[in-house]
Amino acid sequence: MFRLLSRHGRRTRDRCLGGQRRYEHHKAVMAIRREDVNPWERRAPLAPRHVKELTNAGVKVLVQPSNRRAIHEKYYMRAGAIMQEDISEASLIIGVKRLPEEKVIPKKTYAFFSHTIKAQEPNMGLLDDLLTKEVRLIDYEKMVDANGFRIVAFGQWAGVAGMISILHGLGLRFLALGHHTPFMHIGMAHNYRNLSQAVQAVRDCGYEISMGLMPKSIGPVTFCFTGTGNVSKGAQDILNELPVEYVEPHELKDVCETGDMNKVYATVLSRHHHLVRKSDGIYDPMEYENHPERYTSHFRTSVAPYTNCLINGIYWDPLTPRLLRRLDAQKLMRPLKVSRVPTEGSPALPHKLLAICDISADTGGSIEFMNECTTIDKPFCMYDADQHIDHDSVEGNGILMCSIDNLPAQLPIEATEYFGDRLFPYIWEMLSSDATRPLDEEDFSPQVRDAIITSNGVLTPKFEYIEKLRERKEKAQIMKKSGMKRVLLLGAGYVSRPVVEYLTRDERTQVTVGSVPLRQAEDLAAKYPNTIAIMVDVCSQEGHLDSLIKDHDLVISMLPHSLHPLIAKHCIKRKVNMLTASYLCPAMRELHSSAEEAGITIVNEMGLDPGIDHMLAMECIDQAKADGCTVESYISFCGGLPAPECSDNPLRYKFSWFPYGVLQNTISPAVFLKENQVVSIPAGGALMDSAAPMDFFPGFNLEGFPNRDSTVYSECYGIQTAHTVLRGTLRYKGFSKAMSGFIKLGLINKDTCPILHHTSSPVSWKELLCKQMGLSSSISQSAFEEALCERTEKDDSFIDGLRWFGMLGDEPVPHADSILAALAKHLETKLYFNKGERDMIMLRNDVGLRHPTGELETKHITLVVYGDPNGFSAMAKTVGYPAAIAARMLLDGEISAKGLVLPMKKDIYGPVLTRLKEEGLHFLSKSTLQE
């Protein structure tokens, strides 16, 4: 075995030298990234000797430091590699396994095992991120030769490690069944310093078997290998260290009964041994290649009943027959008929099939009941087919399962050398890859070109099927339960949790949470029953969005308001009701008649502000009109704030809502009516100058400023008699002054800023501020701060605030499309709620009413809500619960109006306000009278 591997390595190195000569003129920078997803992943894609050949040819090789990597970094440094954390200089970045989404560098060429070609759900978020960041992904799994065989793989080492592990597992399983066997002397592969030590342990086991030390009551031990590729061959190499006799599959039955106890028996299963055409029982290899769905397997009856341990190494496709199903496992677990009477000290086996090592690790694949992979630290579980459950043990009823999906990581040094030999010949052409260049302009070999899954922001033609496969999987998951009311919730941010919590109280309601990124939706779905997480990008996946809407009874959008018209058009097309918590924009208003014609309801402004503020206003106004009163004024202020004890920062603010929107609103225009005079505040920053103290709660140091166009509510609320109509935003005093400083420095700027793009070199906050002020970045710190002071009208407190935010020195500005987006990202990292902290919502409506008697009454309606540090934030409660309640009303047919609907009618606001009180949101109403 070892001589064979060594000869192969020399042949590969000869090819590598030829490749080196071919590309000697090419100088490039590449990087080997750190493996950081799985704690057991100690491999690397190249060994130091491969790196040495690259550096000798003039290639700059960066290696990210990692104490976990099995090959010490000093060997890479001796080979000429540069150890450094920042690998953004490299055009080619290679690894073994997937990387976290947040560590993907845009517009680079990456090579690693992505596990996306079957639309594997855990990795779809990564795939989406690679597409968004326009990464060129080369997937080793799809690098194949002219015959379709993989050429860059760890397959043989998966077989080696898998075989060692299952021999260890067999020893444990036999012991649990009352039998000490020589297999007990074999440990897990990773417990050995190298393969030689592991092989010696297997040989020692074999010696004891040959000496007749296997318990006779268990009979000859039989193994079955599926497949004839590298995985199967690697596993057989290990079994060959035992005294083993290979037989044909049909001979297993005989050796089970009459075999020699001084050896073990094995068979290698090829397609012709177990596959037959459903119609006539014949196997036609050519037809099977093209139409595997026409075939079935008789493995369950012809081979499995005579196998103690199955080593499965075949690739499975959904169209190909399964080896074993749950029903087969139930039959295979039936007690054996034994010729002799077992005794307490010499028990019989409960059934023949004791263990399965599924090296292919295809969940729900050729072994249908292998639902979840095991891990190196928990390598085994018992599958009880009668109960259809897995339990972490080697005891009890069932079949021992081992399905570790990173088996070669147990032998990391040998696996790295082996893999690197296979990958190295293709590194040279990968180095020439420019991810910003169109793929058809690249000169790749078929082996590399056909392995490129993403490039230039799209799936390559060969892999476009992934999107359809993904949608089919999602649809099957969504439609799995019948009789459910299905809700599509777009957005998994701050306020979506109460929506899901409220709706899933009804066990007949199912919520599909769609989000970018997927991880956010998964985290939310994991907390509640009947909740499914999917990834959907509304902007770039309209077809996917349309398909999802078609399969649901209601769509709730918690996405930015600019996306609502697009979503609404698909809801109208599919005749599906919709709900949002955002303001009704002009583009949505234009859809009113179309929604009416489609017979659907689109509820808008069903949150806090807008939402609860409308409903409290209309409840007061409608009652006042019923009492014969005239509305003379309406003033409403609302704000999401940190609780007072959590407001100790220069902005006196923390984000419980969309950070970009909070900052953008500070430069918005505003219009309101005051004493019958229309007051207009222009865009660009004057809004912050209009902030005024708010003293309706003297215990709070509040300020407020107008919000949007308040004048439209004269008509919306039916209060054309009012001389004052003002809706505004609440903040703690000091917010507007600090924001004015940001505005004066040009930081609330939505224009595209090329120097902050992902492809640009990092820029510090000092450099950016110097650019904004027209200064050289080499200016002294004291002169820099003096210039800032002058620009902000000598506001020392603002300069101290910039220092608090880390914006006066070398701290890097986040990459973003605009300065405003970068500031939002930066402040979000500084102004977040720590564990144990809480936010607060404050809403105040003051409604001036003139009674028929001439008295002037002012109604003071107040809502104050505090967040629960161990539950929902105040913002989440006050936005999420109104939306969820209205959604429930739509699902139950309580809202009959069609077209675009606002919560201003009693048949909507009445039930919603009542149910909000049941959720702990209590409204306080007081009055003051004037003669």
Distances (CA, A) of 847 to 206, 627, 676, 772, 814: 91, 14, 16, 45, 45
* Distance separating alpha carbons of residues 391 and 137, to the nearest angstrom: 37
Nearest partner of 880 among 834, 847, 920, judged by Cα: 920
Tell me the C-alpha distance between 335 and 340, whole Å. 14
Write a three-state SS string for 792-846: CCCCHHHHHHHHHCCCCCCCECCCCCEHHHHHHHHHHHHCCCCCCCCEEEEEEEE
Burial of 458 (0-12, 13-18, 19+ CB in 10 A): middle
Non-local (6+) Cβ contacts of 10 within 8 A are: none
The token duo for 83 is: 């150890």
Task: State how far the Cα of 636 lies from the Cα of 609, in Å rounded to an integer.
Answer: 10
Residue 760 · residue 815 · CB < 8 Å: yes
What is the C-alpha to C-alpha distance for residues 793 and 740, in angstroms, rounded to an integer? 11
- What is the spatial distance between Cα 375 and Cα 413, in angstroms, rounded to a whole number? 19
The DSSP element (H or E) to which 31 belongs, if any, is: strand 29-32
Only one residue has tokens 């397609």, namely 271
Strand 309-312 and strand 222-226: pairing?
parallel
Q: Are 128 and 516 in contact (CB under 8 A)?
A: yes
Which strand (E) or helix (H) includes residue 694?
strand 692-694
What are the CA-CA distances from residue 660 to residues 217, 530, 705, 816, 818 (Å)?
A: 72, 32, 18, 12, 11
Q: Report how far residue 776's alpha carbon sits from residue 279's, in angstroms, rounded to the nearest whole number.
A: 81
**Residues near 400 by Cβ (< 8 Å), separated by ≥ 6?**
169, 170, 172, 173, 354, 355, 356, 380, 381, 382, 394
The partner residues of 92 in beta bridges, in order of sequence, read: 30, 109
φ and ψ at residue 453, rounded to 5 degrees: -90, -45
Question: With contact defined as beta carbons under 8 Å apart, do 671 and 727 qualify?
Answer: no
CB half-sphere exposure, 195, CA atoms < 13 A: 26
Neighbouring CB atoms inside 10 A of 860's CB total 14
The answer to whether 567 touches 544, Cβ cutoff 8 Å, is no
Helices assigned H by DSSP within 151-308: 155-176, 195-210, 230-239, 252-258, 271-274, 285-290, 299-302
Structure tokens at 1: 């075995």
Cα distance between the two ends of the chain: 103
Is 609 a known active-site residue? Answer: yes
Q: Using CA atoms, how far apart are residues 903 and 579, in angstroms rounded to an integer?
A: 11
Compute the distance between CA of residue 465 and CA of residue 481 in angstroms, rounded to an integer. Answer: 26
Q: In the block, which residue shows the tokens 């940190």?
A: 642
Candidate list 129, 421, 609, 613, residue with the active-site label: 609
The edge-to-edge listing of strands for the beta sheet with 531-535 is: 531-535, 509-515, 485-490, 554-557, 577-580, 601-603, 899-901
What span, in angstroms and rounded, lies between the C-alpha atoms of 717 and 707?
Answer: 17
List, by residue number, the catalytic residues.
609
